[in-house]
């Protein structure tokens, strides 16, 4: 990937498995990275230090709080003098049958996954508007972490699926409005990643594990590292002309797996 050296990257949920994998790839490409997360400062600093780069910085960022998001971007601006790339990686899930979805779980899921993405994207885009356009007239890139279930229903996933579907539409509206200002907006939609929340559920829930194993044509879960490259592509020079779209990294799960043993 090219054009990423010295780019200033903010990752909400940056201390999670996917966030750290994305951060590591950006750092390897020469970028500067701010990890925003809800960890205690000492723990967050340790995560940043574990990336072994002087260009990795931790800042507290609770995406359910507008003031927390604004403060984290203020710190990023003070440290790196602006932001070129924002990755919305903070997320939560509460799997439960539709008739048992509680308002508290519904509201929490949408507040983190959808409204939290709005808060981060707005703060980032406002800073990007201050950037001088590059040789291809881009001022910045906003990338959401979606999910293959944003357009494919998953049992007991009502609140999560709805939050990710809403996030994808938010991205498309942003892409339309921000394109004239040189800001691209896209979604990377992983399949079932053996990391973070999915890993915990996969390891502890036999029903989910069997369902997941039967879903993916490639026959295995994805790693966080396999997802990370899509974020780099969208932020790089190669992705400059890509906006308003979703890159699905799901091992074919959205194809719907068929029994081909007789062929």
- Mean pLDDT in consecutive groups of 10 residues from the start of the chain, 263 residues: 91 96 98 97 96 97 98 96 97 93 97 98 98 96 96 92 98 98 98 86 87 87 95 97 97 77 51
User: For residue 124, how many other CB atoms are within 10 A of its CB?
Assistant: 26
How far is Cα 71 from Cα 141, in angstroms, rounded to an integer?
Answer: 20
> What's the pLDDT score for residue 212?
83
> What's the pLDDT score for residue 263?
47
> What's the pLDDT score for residue 143?
98
User: For residue 97, how many other CB atoms are within 10 A of its CB?
Assistant: 10
User: 56-60 and 32-37 as β-strands: parallel, antiparallel, unpaired?
Assistant: parallel
Decide if 35 contacts 47 (C-beta within 8 A): yes
Q: Where are the beta strands (DSSP E) in 125-198?
A: 140-145, 183-190
pTM of the predicted model as reported, rounded to 2 decimal places: 0.93
The one catalytic residue in 160, 194, 233, 241 is: 160
How far is Cα 213 from Cα 215, in angstroms, rounded to an integer?
Answer: 6
How far is Cα 203 from Cα 257, in angstroms, rounded to an integer?
Answer: 22
Pick the closest to residue 235 from 142, 167, 147 (CA basis): 142
241 as an active site residue: the answer is: no
C-alpha dist (Å) from residue 120 to 125, 174, 182, 252: 9, 13, 18, 30
Sheet holding 183-190, edge to edge: 56-60, 32-37, 8-12, 85-88, 140-145, 183-190, 246-249
Cβ within 8 Å of residue 207, ≥6 positions away: none
Q: For CA atoms 220, 105, 196, 247, give the dihedral sign.
A: positive
> What's the pLDDT score for residue 258?
60
> What's the pLDDT score for residue 257?
65
Q: Tally the C-alpha atoms within 13 A of residue 46's C-alpha that lie toward its C-beta.
A: 5
How far is Cα 113 from Cα 94, in angstroms, rounded to an integer?
Answer: 12
Domain topology for 8-251: Rossmann fold (3.40.50)
Pick the closest to residue 88 from 39, 32, 36, 165 (CA basis): 36
């Amino acid at each position: 990937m090219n054009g990423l050296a010295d780019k200033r990257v903010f990752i909400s949920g940056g201390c999670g498995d996917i966030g750290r994998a994305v951060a590591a790839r950006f750092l390897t490409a020469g970028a500067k990275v701010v990890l925003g997360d809800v960890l205690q400062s000492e723990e967050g600093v340790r995560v940043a230090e574990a990336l072994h780069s002087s260009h990795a910085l931790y800042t507290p960022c609770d995406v359910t709080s507008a003031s927390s998001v604004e403060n984290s971007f203020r710190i990023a601006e003070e440290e790196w003098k602006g932001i070129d790339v924002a990755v919305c990686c903070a997320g939560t899930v509460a799997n439960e049958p539709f008739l048992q979805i509680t308002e508290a779980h519904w509201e929490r899921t949408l507040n983190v996954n959808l409204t939290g993405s709005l808060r981060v994207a707005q703060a980032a885009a406002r800073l990007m508007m201050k950037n001088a356009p590059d040789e291809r007239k881009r001022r910045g890139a906003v990338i959401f972490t979606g999910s293959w279930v944003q357009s494919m229903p998953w049992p007991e996933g009502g609140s999560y699926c709805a939050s990710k579907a809403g996030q994808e539409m938010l991205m498309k509206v942003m892409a339309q409005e921000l394109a004239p200002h040189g800001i691209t907006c896209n979604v990377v939609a992983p399949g079932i990643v053996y990391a973070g929340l999915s890993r915990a559920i996969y390891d502890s829930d036999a029903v989910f594990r069997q369902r997941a194993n039967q879903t993916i044509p490639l026959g295995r879960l994805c790693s966080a590292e396999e997802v990370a490259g899509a974020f780099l592509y969208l932020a790089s020079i190669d992705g400059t002309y890509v906006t308003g779209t979703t890159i699905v990294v799901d091992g074919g799960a959205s194809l719907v797996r068929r029994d081909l043993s007789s062929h």
